């Protein structure tokens, strides 16, 4: 699988039920992906259950070696994987896009291989001795989204395998080839049955989450779907890690340098054309520098090339699917109708080929506008003016989500004071959306629960066991 054609041949369906996948940049078919039913899900679960005892019996070092070999396999197939991502997701090859995602997947495997959960001595006082161990759960079900289909899959696969679980993964029905291809490459080195893939829509996902064979379900996606997963898995007391909707807020303080922060704010919002759970999706800027910040961000937007995902000059691509394109378009139109000002972007050509929506900056917008309070998940950023930091904090914290947030300013101590008052699982200072394999990540409120990444992420896919005596 060293060419794109060989990789695609390995994952296209040649028989059975299929679904045709279109490239969002061209609206042309990429190929036919398999479409699985509950019987095929049960078969995948059976393979995972059969493989799990032997996988768990390996030493920690042996499993780490497998993860490093999986990273080697990804790196050997990096360009074909990136080509497939570019076609199926629409993200360009260059910049923090397709090649970046493939490289990050390999790096995350290596970082996860380098970590392990230590045995903790809880009490050792001469009379009582107790240790805390972490054991594999069994079979983990992973349900992944369409926006970062390889990297987020790796975030779920790597820790699960590291601690001795086996995995059944269901990629989004919008981007099945990316999940299938990643697994096909990794499975070149893994024992049979350790990593399994099923393809289907929400109906198959519901069958997964209701199945008692899964000791753990990991899900990244909308809060609405997350709520259904909680309900369907409740009877089985299934452990859950839920990374749900965001609508991240950023606050720019009066002492920020507009030119210095504009680029990082723009890419914090428009990374992957705005289709990132922890992207900056609403920005509150102090009145003293409001116009300068808006203008500086708009200039960055004008200079960021958007185009076909296979064009090496592109840094922004299309929205991944027509449904999401319509959500962005509707919210921007509603903002304009309410009196908000489009500084740059807007007015997409509805008859153009591909799901392209121009990078859009919306200023002079009411803090209660739908474009502000609803997660647009696309290339549009509303910028709200404030004079009193208490108003900015109240608006930032008013929503029922809290995945990430950011504070921008020259005085770090002052920025830290504001950051401590923001209701989000992660608050960045003078950056937004940065993640690290050693730093735990998770949401608050309706943005979900459970931690990923680092040792806390390994514990989340394990069962704690106390040995007392």
Q: Does position 323 have pLDDT exceeding 90, yes or no?
A: yes
Tens of pLDDT along 225-271? Answer: 999 999 999 999 999 999 998 999 999 999 999 999 999 999 999 99
- Those residues whose C-beta lies under 8 Å from the C-beta of residue 333, and which sit 6 or more positions away, are none
Mean predicted lDDT score pLDDT of the chain: 97
pLDDT for the residue numbered 305: 98
Q: How confident is the model at residue 1 (pLDDT cuts 50, 70, 90)?
A: confident
Kindly tell me if the per-residue pLDDT of 66 is higher than 80.
yes
Coil vs helix vs strand at 278:
coil
For residues 123-139, average pLDDT: 97
pTM of the full structure: 0.96
Q: Are strands 120-124 and 166-170 parallel, antiparallel or unpaired?
A: unpaired
pLDDT digits (tens, 9 = 90+) for 267-285: 999 999 999 999 999 999 9
Query: 350: domain CATH number?
Result: 3.40.309.10
Residues 15 and 147 grouped into a single domain = yes
Tell me the average pLDDT across 295-306: 98
Whether residue 130 is predicted with pLDDT greater than 90 in this model: the reply is: yes
Question: Does 92 reside within a domain?
Answer: yes
Q: Examine the domain organization and report whether 280 and 214 are in the same domain.
A: no
- Is a pLDDT exceeding 80 seen at residue 89? yes
Q: Whole domain around residue 323: which residue ranges?
A: 248-429
- The answer to whether residues 95 and 216 belong to one domain is yes
For β-strands 248-252 and 280-286, DSSP reports them as parallel
Residues 404 and 281 in one domain: yes
For 309, phi then psi, to 5°, come to -65, -20
Tell me, what's the pLDDT at 98?
A: 98
Q: Are residues 172 and 120 in the same domain?
A: yes
Catalytic residue among 88, 173, 277, 452: 277
Residues 91 and 212 grouped into a single domain: yes
316 & 385 share domain? yes
What CA dihedral angle connects 120, 126, 127 and 129, to 10 degrees?
20
d(CA 386, CA 221): 31
Any domain includes 435? no
Mean of pLDDT values over 108-114: 98
Per the structure block, which two tokens stand in for 148? 């970062």
pLDDT at 2: 82
Nearest-5° angle of CA 180, CA 35, CA 175? 45
Q: Give the number of domains in the chain.
A: 2
Residue 398 has pLDDT above 90, yes or no: yes
Of the candidates 40, 88, 101, 243, the residue annotated as catalytic is 243
Question: 3-state class of 131 per DSSP?
Answer: strand
Q: Which sign, positive or negative, has the C-alpha torsion 209, 215, 219, 224?
A: positive
Q: Is 203 a catalytic residue?
A: no
* Cα(21)–Cα(18) distance, integer angstroms: 10
- Joined tokens for residue 40: 């095929």
277 is catalytic: yes
Q: Let me know whether 401 and 464 are in one domain.
A: no
Question: What would the mean pLDDT of 369-386 be, rounded to a whole number?
Answer: 98
How does residue 351 score in pLDDT terms, banded at 50, 70 and 90?
A: confident
Burial environment of residue 72 by CB neighbours within 10 A (0 to 12, 13 to 18, 19 or more): middle
Asked if 26 and 166 sit in the same domain, the reply is: yes
CATH number at residue 91: 3.40.605.10
Residue with the two structure tokens 């647009």: 376
Report residue 333 CA to chain centroid gap.
Answer: 27
Same domain, 165 and 227: yes
Average of per-residue pLDDT across 159-170: 98
Same domain, 256 and 315: yes
Residue 382 is predicted with a pLDDT of 98
158 and 209 in one domain?
yes
pLDDT at 294: 98
Q: Does residue 440 belong to any structural domain of this protein?
A: no
Percent of the chain with pLDDT over 90: 98
């Amino acid at each position: 699988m060293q060419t794109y054609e060989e990789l695609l041949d390995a994952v296209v369906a040649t028989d059975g039920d299929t679904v045709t996948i279109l490239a969002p940049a061209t609206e042309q078919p990429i190929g036919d992906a398999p479409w699985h039913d509950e019987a095929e899900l049960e078969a995948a679960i059976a393979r995972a259950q059969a493989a799990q005892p032997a996988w768990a019996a390996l030493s920690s070092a042996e499993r780490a070696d497998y993860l490093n070999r999986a990273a080697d396999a990804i790196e050997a197939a990096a360009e074909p994987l990136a080509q497939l991502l570019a076609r199926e997701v629409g993200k360009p090859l260059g910049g923090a896009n397709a090649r970046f995602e493939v490289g990050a997947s390999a790096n995350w495997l290596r970082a996860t291989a380098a970590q392990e959960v230590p045995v903790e001595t809880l009490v050792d006082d001469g009379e009582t001795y107790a240790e805390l161990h972490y054991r594999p759960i069994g079979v983990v079900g992973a349900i992944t989204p369409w926006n970062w289909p390889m990297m987020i899959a790796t975030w779920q696969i790597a820790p699960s395998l590291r601690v001795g679980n086996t995995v059944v993964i269901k990629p989004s029905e919008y981007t099945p080839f990316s999940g299938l291809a990643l697994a096909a490459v990794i499975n070149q080195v893994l024992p049979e049955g350790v990593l399994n893939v099923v393809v289907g829509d929400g109906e198959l996902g519901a069958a997964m989450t209701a199945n008692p064979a899964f000791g753990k379900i990991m899900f990244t996606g909308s809060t609405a779907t997350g709520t259904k997963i909680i309900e369907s898995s409740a009877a089985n007391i299934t452990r859950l890690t839920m990374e749900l909707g965001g609508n991240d807020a950023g606050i720019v303080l009066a002492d920020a340098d507009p030119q210095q922060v504009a680029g990082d704010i723009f890419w914090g919002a428009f990374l992957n054309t705005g289709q990132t759970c922890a992207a900056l999706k609403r920005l509150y800027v102090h009145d003293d520098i409001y116009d300068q910040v808006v203008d500086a961000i708009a200039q960055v937007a004008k200079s960021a090339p958007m185009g076909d995902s296979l064009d090496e000059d592109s840094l922004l691509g299309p929205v991944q699917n027509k449904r999401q394109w319509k959500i962005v378009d509707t919210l921007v139109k509603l903002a304009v109708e309410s009196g908000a000002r489009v500084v740059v972007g807007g007015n997409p050509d509805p008859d153009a080929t591909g799901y392209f929506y121009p990078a859009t900056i919306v200023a002079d917008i009411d803090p209660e506008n739908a474009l502000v309070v609803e997660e647009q998940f696309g290339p549009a950023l509303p910028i709200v003016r404030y004079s009193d930091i208490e108003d900015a904090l109240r608006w930032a914290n008013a929503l029922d989500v809290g995945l990430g947030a950011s504070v921008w300013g020259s005085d770090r101590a002052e920025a830290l004071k504001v950051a401590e008052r923001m209701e989000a699982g992660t608050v960045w200072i003078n950056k937004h959306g940065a993640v690290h394999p050693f730093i735990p990540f998770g949401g608050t409120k309706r943005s979900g629960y459970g931690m990923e990444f680092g040792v806390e992420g390994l514990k989340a896919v394990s069962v704690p066991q106390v040995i007392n005596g």
